[in-house]
Copies of this chain bind each other. A is one copy, B any other.
Amino acid sequence: MKNGERTISSALKNSILLVTSNENKYKEIAEIAKDYKVELEWLKIPKLEIQADTLEEVVRYSAIVIFQLVKRPLIVEDSGLFIKSLNDFPGPYTNYVRRKLGLEGILKLLEGKNDRSAYFKTSLCYIDEARQLLFNGTVNGRISDTIRGEKGFGFDPIFIPEGESRTFAEMSTEEKNRYSHRSKAFKAFLEYYTNQ
């Protein structure tokens, strides 16, 4: 019966809820998790986000609130663009700023600034009955001078990753994923989770 027990316990262990209202995000991440034989279930709810200067604070709070409701192991993730010469703006408010100021707003704020360096970052929080764990993934790069490319979403058309001349929006999904801050964060978690 030892094998049977192990199967049951692995099945329980490997079912984790991923909290996001974005189906593409769920699909992208579930694909990565499959490589690690971890099953992600999609919990399609908008996550409650607090105002904070760091992504880590945002996802920790969301995770604990949602865990108190569903009482099952789950992951909350959040991503942001941090621009050095703007004191890390827009950071945790990246989606809001994208909607309100657009790509043009960011280019305007950077007019006349020599330092255009920036990074994308994902923070994810895994929570279960015993633990709350944080994992990060980042991709360094710079803000382009103009809007370029049609692919991707968010600030992709003005972000050029290190070692590249194209923006994220000029790359295929596959190319972009090689750099992806989000996949880095999830791989860090999955490495930890499957090797504990």
Q: A residues near B, CB below 8 A?
A: 48-51, 53, 58, 61, 86-93, 96-97, 99-101, 105, 108-109, 111
Within 8 Å CB of A97, what residues of B? 89
Q: Choose one: B48, B58, B88; the contact of A100 (CB below 8 Å).
A: B88
CA distance in complex: A125, B93 (Å): 24
**In the complex, what residue of chain B is closest to A87 when comparing beta carbons?**
B100
**Interchain nearest-CB distance for A174 vs B (Å):** 32
Q: Choose one: B50, B51, B61, B88; the contact of A93 (CB below 8 Å).
A: B51
> B109 touching A89 by the CB < 8 A rule?
no
6 example contacts (A-B, Cβ-Cβ < 8 A) are as follows A49-B50, A50-B50, A86-B100, A89-B100, A90-B100, A108-B111
Within 8 Å CB of A93, what residues of B? 51, 93, 96
**In the complex, what residue of chain B is closest to A47 when comparing beta carbons?**
B51
CA distance in complex: A96, B105 (Å): 17
CA distance in complex: A191, B50 (Å): 32
**Interchain nearest-CB distance for A181 vs B (Å):** 20
**Interchain nearest-CB distance for A106 vs B (Å):** 10
Which 3 A-B residue pairings sit nearest by Cβ, starting from the closest?
A89-B100, A49-B51, A87-B100
> B96 touching A101 by the CB < 8 A rule?
no
> B88 touching A51 by the CB < 8 A rule?
no
